[in-house]
Amino acid sequence: MDLGRVSRHGEAEWWVEPYGAMRVPAVLYASEPLMREMDEKVYEQACNVASLPGIVKASYAMPDAHWGYGFPIGGVAAFDEEEGVISAGGVGFDISCGVRLLETPLTREQVEPLKEALADALYHEVPVGMGSTGRVHLDDAQMDAMLAGGARWAVEQGFGTWGDLPRIEEGGCMAGARPEFVSRRARQRQADEMGTLGSGNHYLEVQHVAHVEDARLAEAYGLREGQVVVSIHCGSRGLGHQIGTEYLREMLLEAARQGLKLPERELACAPIRSEVGREYLGAMRAGINCALANRQIITHLVRQVFARVAGVSELGLLFDVSHNTCKREEHEVDGKRRGLFVHRKGATRAFGPGHPELPPGLREVGQPVLIGGSMGTASYVLAGTEESETRAFSSSAHGAGRSHSRHDALRHWRGRDVVESLARRGILIRSPSMRGVAEEAPGAYKDVVEVVDAAEVAGLSHKVARLEPLACIKG
């Protein structure tokens, strides 16, 4: 990106003052090297978002931002609940794609001899890859219950424990879901896909805590150096995608009816108070519950594998964050509390200490912010801080962020080579798709350390621990 187009407002904060149709500034959080590398498309898309009706304060991009559909991935935008809009492209197609972190009582030394067996068993038990189906099959009534209940429904069905629920955003159940606005086709696509990982950047990874960055917070989170943890990254599979596709079309029609001027059709949106807006909100919330239930079922499968292979089943849930959402939240804007609909697309909510929505045990210290690295590289646990509330409506980065397109990655890397080079470093990869592995080559992503450092310097969240991979099940 040409830094001549932005003005610097801090070590890791860059502004585009409103011009043309922009109603508010665009604010990009990144270090100077990340800014130089960042796609010009992020600049354009963040500015486009800034022109949408009812946007409040600014259109934001996180340090891992890259080119997305309409909104950048790594984009945050909040809209006034009376005059604002909601956008399917602003949430993303994989509704509530997210990450959860499970903590085992095992050390790296204990797991090393079991690594192959764990990788094989996880790969066998957790369905992965495009179009994969699982052992859970839902009829229409069960689908309604799942879409309304989320992870709470999954626990009722015997997946995981009641103690998991407070460690999930929304207590594991997104309120206001309206299953009746989820189409027959979306339901059909999901009927056999519960408890499956999917493909693309989704993964299930066995990791160890390589370094504690903040001893007090690590202790509060139950993390210690050498400990083995498990990360689960997946979303709402076919259902979320179908909801996104259908409502995008509806929003194009609605925007035309309302006479909204869109910078491009990918920014299709509808007034939050319109019928289409309310229906999407209900369907999207049902999509959130689908993703929460999905991660809850996979958690159960992971615990079963660990019980069988390693003799331990007490894998506590640190936290579950969603990356692709639009949520009604109250934030202070110019000294006033306002109800806002906050779109986070490839961005993590990062509530600081004292936030009433955090459960006991986390409320005192701030919310865990889980940042998944690329395959074979580090992941990070960070924490929301008091400062986070003053940055992008309490948001942070969500991952390393792509630096090369999938197409580009296929020309640069071969899946088999990637698997072999990681194996030489002791990192096991299990995947049905060598093409997928090539697309996900570590080199196709930004350096997660740079992203996390930028998040810290920008005041988005605070580093707690670095995780390094041992084995990765890749979709």
Partner DNA sequence: ATGTCC
Q: Which stretch binds DNA (CB under 7 A): 154-162, 184-192, 315-323, 352-360?
A: 184-192
Dihedral pair phi/psi, residue 396, rounded to 5°: -145, 180
Select from 23-31, 91-99, 168-176, 256-264 the region that touches DNA (CB under 7 A): 91-99
Question: Under a CB-based contact definition with an 8 Å cutoff, are residues 117 and 309 in contact?
Answer: yes
Give the Cβ contact number of residue 254 at 10 Å: 22
DSSP state of 213: S
- Comparing CB distances to DNA, the nearer of 411 and 424 is 411
Q: How many positions of this chain bind DNA (CB under 7 A)?
A: 23
Closest among 73, 125, 43 to 308, alpha carbons compared? 125
Q: 167 vs 237, which CB is nearer to DNA?
A: 237
CA distance 347 to 163: 26
The string of DSSP letters for 40-80 reads HHHHHHHHHHTTSTTEEEEEEEEEEEE--SSSPEEEEEEEE
Site string for DNA, 227-246 (x = CB under 7 A): -------xx-xx--xx----
Of 202, 323, 398, 404, which one is the catalytic site residue?
Answer: 398
Which residue from 54, 200, 415, 459 is in contact with DNA, where contact means CB under 7 A? 200
DSSP 202: -
Which token pair is 73?
């991935």
Selected from 10, 131, 163, 361, the binder of DNA by CB under 7 A is 131
Contact call for residue 64 and DNA (CB under 7 A):
no
* Binding-residue pattern over the window 420 to 459 for DNA, x denoting contact by CB under 7 A: -------------x--------------------------
CB of residue 334 to DNA, shortest distance in Å: 36
- Is residue 202 at the binding interface for DNA, with CB under 7 A as the rule? yes
48, 87, 157, 199: which one contacts DNA (CB under 7 A)? 199
Amino acid (1-letter code) at residue 192 = D
Near DNA by CB under 7 A: residue from 198, 287, 352, 469: 198
Q: Is 282 in the site for DNA (CB under 7 A)?
A: no
Residue-by-residue DSSP string for 450-475: HHHHHHHHTTS-EEEEEEEEEEEEE-
Closest by Cα among 276, 123, 138 to 194: 138
Q: How far is the CB of 195 from DNA (least distance, A)?
A: 12
> Among residues 131 and 359, whose Cβ is nearest to DNA?
131
Among the residue ranges 194-202, 303-311, 415-423, 464-472, the one whose residues contact DNA (CB under 7 A): 194-202
Q: Which residue has the tokens 């992203």?
A: 451
Cα gap 283→328, rounded to integer Å: 15
Pick the piece of the chain touching DNA (CB under 7 A) from 193-201, 208-216, 217-225, 328-336: 193-201
Residue choice 144, 164, 170, 193 for contact with DNA (CB under 7 A): 193
Choosing from 3, 21, 130, 423, the residue that interacts with DNA (CB under 7 A) is 130
Judged by beta carbon, residue 172 or residue 198, the one nearer DNA is 198
| 306 binds DNA, rule: CB under 7 A | no
- Asked whether the beta carbons of 243 and 287 are under 8 A apart, the reply is yes
Pairing of strands 462-474, 428-430: parallel
| b/e map 194-224, b = 16+ CB within 10 Å | bbbbbbbbbbbbbbbbeebbbeebbebbebe
Query: Of 115, 167, 189, 349, which lies in the binding site for DNA, with binding defined by CB under 7 A?
Result: 189
CB atoms under 10 Å from CB of 184, counted, come to: 9
Q: Establish if 93 lies at the interface with DNA (CB under 7 A).
A: yes
Interaction between residue 323 and DNA (CB under 7 A): no
Q: What angle do CA 350, 396, 302 make, to 5 degrees?
A: 75
Min separation Cβ 253 and DNA, Å:
16
Stretch touching DNA by CB under 7 A, among 40-48, 187-195, 380-388, 458-466: 187-195
Sheet of 324-333, strand order: 7-10, 13-16, 26-29, 55-66, 73-80, 336-345, 324-333
Q: Assess whether 398 carries a catalytic annotation.
A: yes
State the Cα–Cα distance between residues 221 and 242, nearest whole angstrom.
36
97 touches DNA by CB under 7 A: yes
Q: Write out the catalytic residue numbers.
A: 398
Chain residues in the site for DNA (CB under 7 A): 69, 93-94, 97, 130-131, 185, 188-189, 193, 198-202, 234-235, 237-238, 241-242, 433, 475
